[in-house]
Amino acid sequence: MKKIYCLSLLAVIVMCSCQQKPAAVPVDTEAAKTAIAALLDEFNATFKGNDASKVMVLFTDDALTLGTDPSEFFSKKQISDAWTPIMADTTINIDYSIDRREIRVAPDGKSAVVIEQIMFPLLSPKIPVRNIYHVIKPDDKWMIDFLSFNLIPKNEDLAKLNAALQ
């Protein structure tokens, strides 16, 4: 009985070790970066518009958005509810310029981290904002899975900001 068990185990090990590994598909990172840049260009264009529903289709269903306040952790529905009245208000000018964008594609080509540094006068005319995105490609379409808005004061301004908060 022991011999049959050992032979069976040996046969399973040999069969498993003899299977070929699937060939790794090379990732075209430049094509991925181009597609991701198009997604973020669309996000920025629609974000500056007046229809939050057009922005929301760019997010995954379980997306997480972090605002500039420590208490701001928003689900897709919560951020949609917050942005809808702001975008619908035609007296509010949502305009900003992108100073820098970095796209880092994962080796498997299925996700990426994107960083954009912007000047967003509606939020602060003097403190830059850094948006950090995690984008994924669940099917054949890139989508925003995570977005974090961050105020990034210059190091030389920190003492002034800390003094102002006293």
| Mean pLDDT value of segment 124-136 | 95
In a domain, 11, yes or no: no
pTM over 0.75: yes
With respect to residue 7, please indicate whether it lies within any of the assigned structural domains: no
pLDDT at 158 over 80: yes
What pLDDT score was predicted for residue 71?
95
Query: What's the confidence (pLDDT) of residue 6?
Result: 61
The whole-number average pLDDT for the span 148-164 is 92
The domain tally of the chain equals: 1
* Residue 123 included in any domain: yes
Q: With respect to residue 116, please indicate whether it lies within any of the assigned structural domains.
A: yes
Q: Establish if 8 belongs to a structural domain.
A: no
Q: What is the pLDDT of residue 93?
A: 85
Average pLDDT along the chain: 89
DSSP the chain: -HHHHHHHHHHHHHHHHTSPPPPPPPP-HHHHHHHHHHHHHHHHHHHTTT-HHHHHTTEEEEEEEE-SSTT-EEEHHHHHHHHHHHHH-TTS----EEEEEEEEE-TTSSEEEEEEEEE-TTT-SSS-EEEEEEEE-SSSS-EEEEEEEEE---GGGHHHHHHHT-
**Contacts with 27 (C-beta within 8 Å, 6 or more apart), sequence order:** 105, 107, 108, 109
pLDDT at 152 over 90: yes
Residue 16 lies in a domain: no
pLDDT for 28-72, tens place per residue?
899 999 999 999 999 999 999 888 999 999 999 999 999 999 999
Residue 153 lies in a domain: yes
Give pLDDT, residue 26: 79
Which CATH number goes with the domain that contains 129? Answer: 3.10.450.50
Residue 157 inside a domain? The answer is yes
Q: Sorting pLDDT into bands at 50, 70 and 90, what band is 94? A: confident
Domain that holds residue 135: 26-164
At residue 37, the pLDDT reads 97
Question: Confidence band (pLDDT; 50, 70, 90) for 2?
Answer: low
Q: Answer yes or no: is pLDDT of 12 > 70.
A: no
